[in-house]
Structure 1
């Protein structure tokens, strides 16, 4: 088990990580989701030992790692750009760590060859060992980088946006393969990404990094359906966040004055969250009984294959997104520039107290 306690990392006046605490269980696939510049890669570099925290502790299986050099941490790192040696063959790249690591280097050529071939078979590259890394595809280079990491049998594997350099088809295939490989090895993977789709697909647990801290760590379904705060909801790219001030049990937002679930004090700051696919659209005079609504002007639509995304703007400037699943469409034909009622069931609303964070 990997445990991070109170991890802080500063660069001059900028704080990248601010007292972050987080646990990666044994035999787990954990996704770390964060926006660009949120400190995701910094966190991986601290765990791996390429940088040291200004405060806090990093503990793996009861042993404190911070202060130890990278080669003594027994941690695998798969870099975003693969970081392969261009002058070596696929086989030589994979074998490099076995032959030249400081401790427990493998001197037997037969053992190196055996373990290297086993690693290549594990990632589906048997028969590719003799090729140069410039002679194989991007997806195959990704697998070589993974094999080079796994052959040393690390206690945990860190993956820094490992699918970012691949095209869409390869990403989908590698998602399945990464999960299958991890399940066979029973080694924990910590997979960093800025893609909410990738994070939710890959992780048994998804942790959201924002403001230098983990704002939520949950199962992927629980996170998507019930984010605990506005910061987590924003990172999922599936929730509209409307901020405002409470007035007589309603929230004054830039989408209008909206009812809120629960009782809040006047003057209190709060946000409500409405999921893209939980909002319906109709003429203002045709809002079904029992539903809450506000009005907004239709801007444009975006076709995404199985779904269509519609963009609306309220009179006070809030941008609202609505998703329609084309297998069971529910939205009427929309005219650009026309104002519609956007309505939803009261129980679909999530309420987050406090100022927007």
Structure 2
């Protein structure tokens, strides 16, 4: 089990991480979701030992690893750009760590060959060892980078936005493959991403990093349907978050959240009496195949979105520039005390 306790990292006056408490359980695929600049990569670099925290402790199975050199931590790192050696073959890239690692390097060529072939087979590249890394696809290079990490049998694998360089179809396939590989190995993966879809798809558990802290860590369905903070709700890209005062004095000084698919639209003054409502101006719509998004601007400038599933349309015909009442049941409401 990987445990981070009160981890902080500063760069001059800039606070990248601020007292982070975070646990990656054994035999788990953990997703870490955060916006660009949230400190995701910094967190990985601290765990791997490429940087050290200003404060706090990092441990694996209750043994501290902060302060240790990276090669002593028994942690694998798959970089976003894969960081393969272009002059080496696929097999030579995978075998590199076995031959040249600082601790217990292997010199038996037969053992190195066997372990390299086993790692390539694990990631679906059996028979690709002789090829140059410039002669294979982006998805195959990603697998080579993963095989190079896995061949050294690390206790935990860190993946820094590993699917970011792949096209959409390949990302979907690699999601399935990464989960299957992790399950076969029985080690923990910590997968960092800025995509909420990727995080929810991949993770047995998903943690949200915002403002230098872990704002929530939960099972994917719980995080999506029951965000405990406004920051967690915003990271799901499925919730409108806004000042509750827009709906009346009873919700003033609270930030509230309502899911895109749980808001309705009607003419001003016609919202059901048992619903909460606010006035907003219709801006424009966006067609996305089976769904459509409608965008509204509230009186305080907040941008609100409503999703309509075209197989069961529920929104009226909307006119750009016209005001409407957006309304919703109180059961659809998430409340966060103290507006952000």
Which residue of structure 2 aligns with residue 31 of structure 1?
A: 31
TM-score, normalization by structure 2: 0.97
Which residue of structure 2 aligns with residue 263 of structure 1?
A: none
* CA–CA distance in structure 1, aligned partners of residues 199 and 318 of structure 2: 32
Shift >6 Å, 4+ stretches: none
After TM superposition, the structure 1 stretch with the greater mean CA deviation from structure 2, 302-311 or 30-39, is 302-311
* CA–CA distance in structure 2, aligned partners of residues 58 and 144 of structure 1: 29
Which residue of structure 1 aligns with residue 334 of structure 2?
A: 350
- The answer as to whether partners of 2:245 and 2:253 remain within 8 angstroms in 1 is no
Mapped pair 1:67 → 2:60? no
Which residue of structure 2 aligns with residue 242 of structure 1?
A: 242
- Which residue of 224, 245, 248 maps to 1:257? 248
- The answer as to whether partners of 1:259 and 1:292 remain within 8 angstroms in 2 is no
RMSD: 1.3
* CA–CA distance in structure 2, aligned partners of residues 19 and 297 of structure 1: 41
* CA–CA distance in structure 2, aligned partners of residues 237 and 336 of structure 1: 23
Q: How does 1:121-160 map to 2 (within 5 A)?
A: 121-160=121-160
Unaligned residue ranges in structure 1 (runs of 5+): 244-250, 261-267
Q: Structure 1, residues 90-127: CA drift from partner, whole Å, max 9, x if none?
A: 11000111111111212211111111111111111111
Which residue of structure 2 aligns with residue 169 of structure 1?
A: 169
After TM superposition, the structure 1 stretch with the greater mean CA deviation from structure 2, 209-218 or 103-112, is 103-112
Q: Structure 1, residues 316-351: CA drift from partner, whole Å, max 9, x if none?
A: 322111111223222222222222221111111111
TM-score, normalization by structure 1: 0.92
Q: Structure 1, residues 32-76: CA drift from partner, whole Å, max 9, x if none?
A: 011111110000000000001111110012221011000010000
* CA–CA distance in structure 1, aligned partners of residues 335 and 300 of structure 2: 21
* CA–CA distance in structure 1, aligned partners of residues 133 and 248 of structure 2: 60
- The answer as to whether partners of 2:6 and 2:18 remain within 8 angstroms in 1 is yes
Offset of residue 201 of structure 1: 0.8
Question: Secondary structure of 1:88's match?
Answer: coil
After TM superposition, the structure 1 stretch with the greater mean CA deviation from structure 2, 26-35 or 106-115, is 106-115
Unaligned residue ranges in structure 2 (runs of 5+): none
Q: Structure 1, residues 211-266: CA drift from partner, whole Å, max 9, x if none?
A: 111011111110110110111111111111112xxxxxxx423xx52654xxxxxx
CA separation of 1:258 and 1:332: change in aligned 2, threshold 3 A: farther
